[in-house]
Amino acid sequence: MSNKPSSNERTPLLNGEGASSNGTPNHNHIQSSNNERSAAFRFFFDSKHTPGTHSENIAVRSLAYSWHIFKVTLLSNYINFLLIMVPIGIVAGRLGWNSTAVFTINFFAIIPLAAVLSFATEEISLKLGETLGGLLNATFGNAVELIVSIVALRDNQIEVVQASMLGSILSNLLLVMGMCFFFGGIRHRGTSGGGTEQTFSAAVAQTTCSLMTLSSASLVIPAALYGVLDQGHTNLEDKDRSILVLSRGTAIILLILYALYLVFQLRTHSNLFDTESQLPEGEDPEDPTLGPIAAAAVLVVVTILVAICADYLVGSIDDIVESANISKAFIGLILIPIVGNAAEHVTAVVVALRNKMDLAMGVAIGSSIQIALGVTPFLVIVGWIIGRDMTLHFETFETVAFAVSVLVVTYTVQDGKSNYLEGAMLLGLYIIIAVAFYATPGDFLDKATNLISGSN
């Protein structure tokens, strides 16, 4: 009998658990083991709680809270695995690696930094309420593009700044909105022979498209004035001065209009832009996972890192243009917008797949308005302050591409409905524009810009 093992003796051993002296499972040991696993999970993967944050020991509490902030930030987006590129990109720039390597590594480093910046901004917005939160999102929504552009403007890379601004607008209007319409339309196409369309607020679409048309006019008018002055054989210095005066005056007016748009959107007509109804039935608004001070600290640190990586990225552009024979316009128009908008692009497509088209339109068109009426004229003023002749006179090819894109988008969204065919049309136009700038010789548009800015 003593050689016959009982089930009570085997089970705890097979489960890796201890047993009491009489052969019964030791429940205290089981509970202790489960608690250890639970504590380890909370420490590494629980974005709501971290053990030690309520410790009476101030050193333990500070370390635990610092780890909590880092953990929550790291787990905020799947794309954050690319954060490993940040220290590598800084080292590459500091040690003077090959320009292609410096550009590529810092390019991928800024993508997750943009996602973290968006996360920190959203965390602060949840605490500030609808009005102030919306204003904060409007201010920091395109922070990466603003930082990269200021760095480029400081280095007198005006053509890169202009192209990146235009590229951000086009990527949102054509690429993001096109993907939202296309994939959302495929997902919600209805039955064969009885297709359905996705709907969104036609009033919001009309208002935002009107503002985009205005911003298009703000680029066409300087180009037209320059053409008239050129035909009149006006002195080159006088032409440049006239374009600068027009651009700076227009920039001030656009900033005033952008402020009025914010008041319209966030205060007087906020009911038109209300997206709370797009929440699933029974789902409450999201609660913040970081306190406002912690989120602000993350915002400051990430902004500094973006500025450092952007400095190395912009510094390598000249060598990239020379070695790869691609234009600065292509880098600014196509590549740099991917850096700043990757996380936003994914978010817009995901909500479109869930048939929340007002949210998707808010991301796509809203971001375009911020760039066209807020960031671009602000950069003109910044250039004025630091002695850089940043104007709203874009190269003719860029101006035409922008004007045509706004026209197509306006016709597409004016009825407040979308389908996958309209999405394919927008994507097709974006690809055509991208191929056109890629096919342009590397120094052609740059020479044209140099002629405009004052060289013979």
10-residue stretch averages of pLDDT, the chain, 456 residues long: 45 43 51 54 59 65 73 79 90 88 89 83 70 61 80 86 88 90 88 81 81 89 84 73 91 92 82 58 58 82 88 85 77 80 75 85 82 91 90 87 91 88 94 88 52 41
* Structural tokens at position 205: 């679409």
What is the Cα Rg of the chain in Å? 27
The pLDDT score that the predictor gives to residue 405 is 92
Domain 76-275+287-453 listed as CATH 1.10.3720.10 = no
The pLDDT score that the predictor gives to residue 333 is 84
Q: What angle do CA 367, 371, 372 make, to 5 degrees?
A: 115
The pLDDT score that the predictor gives to residue 129 is 58
Estimate the crossing angle of helix 376-386 against helix 158-170, to 10 degrees. Answer: 170
Sign of the four-CA dihedral 290, 113, 141, 245:
positive
d(CA 252, CA 249): 5
Long-range contacts of 56-65 (CB under 8 A, 24+ apart): 65/294
Instruction: Please report where in the chains the tokens 């359905």 appear, as a residue.
Output: 196
Estimate the crossing angle of helix 236-263 against helix 130-140, to 10 degrees. Answer: 160
d(CA 384, CA 441): 30
Show me where the domains of the chain are located: 7-45, 76-275+287-453
d(CA 452, CA 390): 12
How many C-beta atoms lie closer than 10 Å to residue 282's C-beta?
Answer: 5
The pLDDT score that the predictor gives to residue 454 is 43
Annotate 297-319 with b (16+ C-beta within 10 A) or e (fewer): ebbeebbebbebbbbbbbbbbee
The pLDDT score that the predictor gives to residue 292 is 76
Residue type, 142: N
